[in-house]
Amino acid sequence: MGESRIPLTIYTFVNKDFSIYNVGNLLGNGHEKYNIKNNDYVIFYYGYNDVQRRFYSNFNNNTENSINSLLDKYINKILFLKNAYKIIPIVPCIYPLPIKLTGMNILGSEEERTNYTLITNRLLKDKCKENNILYLDIYDDISKNNKINEKYTVDGIHLDYNNNDLRKHIESKIYKLIL
């Protein structure tokens, strides 16, 4: 397959055999090995790298069906982990496009990437609902013209989790999901 494990995309997640305990270890520098227990909430943050690379390069002939197929595998893997580890998964939306593209391996036009993101979020939300998985939808909250709102990003690509207003808003949405 030739895909590196970092970043861990949805595609890699469904096509590799990861233990839920070592996913953080693969993404970090060794200190992220989690002690996940029964009934813990686990947030699965994956996505935009699939939109910017995988979808365009592999799915441009039949986009919605291909995204749907990939998301079926993604949800099935999450359901497997949910049952195997007795966790409560939370699946967030795919974030809006970055406002800074320097150094990113971008394929397709902005319009195509936005379309992939919106299709993916619609399908992902439906699949989560069908499978009783919590879906964290913050797309509209952090988006401005289908890009990450500048006031919520640290580098034009990633969300700024040190932004107190943003962090409190996301935490509030998570609490509403789990209560």
32 versus 169: which is more confidently predicted?
169
126 versus 40: which is more confidently predicted?
126
Q: Is pLDDT at 5 greater than 50 in this prediction? A: no
Determine the angle formed by the axes of helices 63-85 and 110-130, rounding to 10 degrees. Answer: 40
Q: Is residue 142 part of a domain?
A: yes
Q: Is pLDDT at 4 greater than 90 in this prediction? A: no
Q: Is residue 13 part of a domain?
A: no
Q: In the block, which residue shows the tokens 């359901």? A: 79
Whole-prediction pTM: 0.82
Q: Is residue 67 part of a domain?
A: yes
Q: Is residue 16 part of a domain?
A: no
How many C-beta neighbours within 10 Å does residue 16 have?
Answer: 14
User: CATH number, domain at 158?
Assistant: 3.40.50.1110
CA-CA distances (angstroms) from residue 24 to 42, 92, 115? Answer: 11, 17, 29
DSSP helix/strand/coil, 147: strand
**Residues of the chain above pLDDT 70, percent:** 69
Tell me the pLDDT tens digit for each residue of 12-63: 666 666 666 655 555 444 555 566 778 888 888 766 666 666 666 666 567 7
Instruction: Output the six-digit token pair for 51.
Output: 């939109």
Domain that holds residue 60: 37-178
Q: Give the containing element (helix H, strand E) for 143.
A: strand 143-144
Q: Which pLDDT score is estimated for 151? A: 94
Q: Which pLDDT score is estimated for 52? A: 65
Which residues, in sequence order, are bridge partners of residue 91?
135
Q: Is residue 82 part of a domain?
A: yes
Number of domains in the chain: 1
Tell me the pLDDT tens digit for each residue of 55-105: 666 665 677 888 888 889 889 989 988 998 888 999 999 999 888 776 666
pLDDT mean across residues, the chain:
80
- In this structure, what DSSP letter does residue 37 have? -
Q: Is residue 24 part of a domain?
A: no
